Structure 1
């Protein structure tokens, strides 16, 4: 061990000598086997030197012989550090507890993320992982090696060809690669494509089968659009008709829209609560008391502690409870009319399908009575107008 390291372990003090015969003190102490170092005169005329704690107590007889007095100006080394720690037990214990808690929290699996699954559900994968000891709040050192976990999960998850397990901080990522099985083409019987509603054809594309109507043709419901019978009378055969047919369809709606709406508004009054978050648990630390509002809405915002690429499962959460009340909002007849038509359009598109487009709207009748606006509206919608009809059914007729 180096001299400085040994001195630090023994503890060193720096002293000033006052009165008496300082030179004689130094000479007699050195002759008596004491180890003095950094001996010098200070600017104020005092003799200064360093010595170990054990030699400091051996200095007493020489002080009496020379009539000198000693004053300690500096202390350094392990003995003095231990004395400070003894005086600050709670502080030192808190530091040790803090780092122990951080170590424990970082040694737990706090969250599991599943990626790459399509056919396998996340619940299936999590259940298989739990059977292998991989689940939230599990100690990291109790987990098997990633390669072993991967092989076990592949065995437990039918339809998977590879499963990767990767630990990032307190989070474990399970990456699943599923086997691809080519879909078998379903057996289909020959069929026609017929009109699903009365309409005017705007577009017709036959992929298989024979188109029997043209663009701008008016068709009736159940009328054949693309026939599944092709060829002449002597050499005809049946196929599965396929294609795309769009047309204009009309929907008539009776709408009643109120002139007074009940809406929720914020009053501006609010109450804030703070929570300490550890994992999935939240401990309230401020904003105690019952909710003072008869009607309210709570908005939560959570912040997690992060360091570099590590996201620790501890943090804080702010919950703002905002007072609300219901108010009556008066609409003009035009506003009520627009609101009613928008609601009707939404219902039309639900009926007509996701690829439908509203081309026109005609108000057939409108009146205001008893606090409402009543309307009869005709919507012109372009949509798919095909449905299937098996040829067996046609032959049976």
Structure 2
């Protein structure tokens, strides 16, 4: 590969000469230090071979001494292409004009990206930037990023930070919005159930309980309401109440931030299958690496085999690309592929081992769905039988836990299940 690259940069030609004087011609050229390669048969009784461009003139002396004339058939390499371009001045001028225009266009801003905003509208930020001098087609050297950042911060509300960066023909405006502090309890908040369960313990610190021990609740049901109803009136007071003004003196409903602890029995269920015979692959420790260079759609192998010598293998590829220049992507990639040989064997286990393995996997998956401080009360592992004997073991695991099931949710009058109209 390196030899071909040097010959391309220096230039080389393909010549033809009679077959009967090939041996004398090659021997005399070799003694004079002239390198010849690619000797192949040509049309008729002539042979073709390659020689460097700078060795063509010394080769003419060799031809005179051997009385053997040669003909130049083809010319290859950068010097010959450069000579052709000198004769095509219009093409060279057009290419230079294209490069100049491309460089001039790359000195202006054509793309403006605004990122990081959710509540603030893009058009509002873009309007402030236009007034500050940032718009499509503006020269890059005329931009003052500090001035743009200051203008956006002063004229757009709800922003905590603004950053403006220029990347080629693209200007990226990154903003960070202000984050309001979390709710401090001033607004009424209910405690609702985040999952189904059977109430085992309930401790109310503030609020009105809507459930009690032994009740079955579903996800989203209000457990402790933020609305505290007024105290109930005794029957004697109701019988003695003969003045309508007493209804007006009844205390109103109070709203608080509900707090408390509600523990419930929660059930989890999972199903798993394990095969008694399983095909397993494992690395043997042998591996081989191949290095390729990809130019456009053509792939050239620089190092390593053309075919993988392993029957079973795992492939790991790493691609490195040439860095982007301005907005031009150079279509050259260097690919490193590592082939790791794999050994395949059949792993056989008994039904008891498969049952235990399926139970362990089911428990591992259920623990991922449980909170960290959960208390497991009971586990039940049951094998699912089928009508016919199979090489698969099916199990169902049921786990009963005791856990905290409350989650805070803003209070909705009339919609939280409290039955209280504020």
The structure with the largest alpha-carbon Rg is 1
TM-score under structure 2 normalisation?
0.43
Question: Which structure shows the higher strand fraction?
Answer: 1
TM-score under structure 1 normalisation?
0.45
